[in-house]
Chains A and B, each alone.
Chain A
Amino acid sequence: MESSIKGRLLRYWKVYTGALVLAIISDMIGIVKFDIGIGTLTLFPMVFATIIGGLFGPDLLKLFTMEESGAAGAMVLVCLAPFMAKMGVGAGANLSKLVEVGPALLLQEFGNLGTIIISLPVALLLGLKREAIGACYSINRDSNLGLTTDIYGPDAPETKGTFAVYIVGSVIGTVFMSLLASIVASWNIFHPLALGMASGVGSGSMMTAAAGTLATIYPDYAEVIPVLGGASDMLTGITGIYMGTFIGLPLTTWLYNMLEPKIGRIFARNTMDSKVGGEAE
């Protein structure tokens, strides 16, 4: 029974020790914040671990072989399970609070799906293929990362799309959310309470950034905006995984299958044209 575990340990000990060392180093670096004038860029230990790990891979520094790199992919799924368990416990502990906030917030969760219609066509125009499905079906916070990895597997292009948006979002998310909140607020087309609800996108730090900005812009609503944002954020954490499984991913895949043949063709012609023009891909 233990032999398969032992076998794996013997075969891939480098991957496990490598990850252990990477994690310790990254945790000792800790959370690093850069003030860039318009806001703060935040680098979590996870980002360091990912980047350093990637540098040691078979493409660049070649410390790990292709096979070992693949074994690490399988471990990503193992790590996701306790992460999802933690999110589930958080959701369960706050269940009664959410029932209080009522149906307005629940309906608003469907707004999170709206991003698909905007971002998928652009992603295809930029030349992304199946990565676009993972990148565009949701805002790609923690629970979405678990979902895509689980459904498509750690090496699938869909997962790479999700992972890329997850990582980029974790770095620029807070700066961008506070910037976005102040721009959208200046349009004066949405009620402050609606903006407060929209702040909850499934990431605590992004929500805090947006709600904090909105509270300064609308001092009359300064107290209620973070409450709505927090509730909506919590709700996204709970509904996100079901929303993604039953609506988000099927809808994105359907849209992809419809649009990709058309956009892909234009794109193929463009590359051909540019090749004729001397700019080979």
Chain B
Amino acid sequence: MKGCIKTMTRCVAFFIIFSMIFSNTSDYLRRPDDESDEIHAFYDEPKDSIDVLFMGSSPILRGVSPMVMWKQNGFTSYVRASALQAPSVTYGLLGESLEYQSPELVVLLCDNIFLEFDYGEREGDLRRALDGMKMSKYKFQIVNQVIAADDRQTLLSYMFPLFRYHERWKEINWAEAEPTPLMVHSFKKGNVYLRGGEPQEYPENFMEPSSTLAPEFNESAKDYIEKTINLCKEKNISVLMLHLPKMSWSYEQSMAIEDFAKEMGVDYLDCDREEIRTQLNLDPAVDYYDQGHMNLIGSIKLSQWFGEYLDITYNLPDHRNEEAYQKWNEDYQLYAEKTKAVS
């Protein structure tokens, strides 16, 4: 018996040492990524403290600033988005988010309803979201789909990203290397803004009706967006389907999504529609990073208008003077400092 206890103790001690080295090595070899960090920092928000969740891919990640909305309107929000986020990931990410928060509104960017998502080709994009997520049944479900679609990928590499990034030891200058664990708290609340950018111009006849038919919805994407909306309905959360400004968009696509939103019984807002564009007053030469994304100037401009729109439309609460939300004011100070040159 004594020998057995000694053996068990040694095994536990060995496992602890192994885990510590494993964790530290993972932090050294992790592919540093702002989007994964922002997705992960979500867990630091106090339970049930977020009023609005923004879900979807890069336009919402780059274009919506929860901090601007906080300063202007006082409601709390978080962007849980990542570049080219697959609708299946959005669904899982939302499911997981709702375990931590009970928002009044979910804003769903759904341009990807037209896209076929290739899990094999888009491994990098998948990882931006999944590497930031804690292990949960939602992450497990997403990974299972990924593995089913691409047998080169493994559950283990998503549970422990070191098994994916293990060969990065070759890229690292060990003399200067530092561990880069996932970010714990974010002052940007999920927004990953872009500075600078190229001056843009709207294409000819932009958002004007044409004889071209809208592309078909991707069946899988549509299914997941439906599931996402139904999940919100089950939890009595309002849903706003959203399209943010980008140059490669058409009137027909906009109408197709509007019809879909009507069918699903949710709101739809298309920021490329003429009347919204007029209100937004975006300058393509200044406010865009590239054809599909706002830069920091554009995101602030857009967030100011959009915050006002959400506040009025959904009658969101104002927490700015509440004791429990003082950390948001501190975070805003940091945000303002970092974006000072622009705002």
User: Are the chains A and B members of one assembly?
Assistant: no
- By a beta-carbon cutoff of 8 Å, the part of chain A in contact with chain B is none
- Interface residues, chain B, with chain A CB atoms under 8 Å away: none
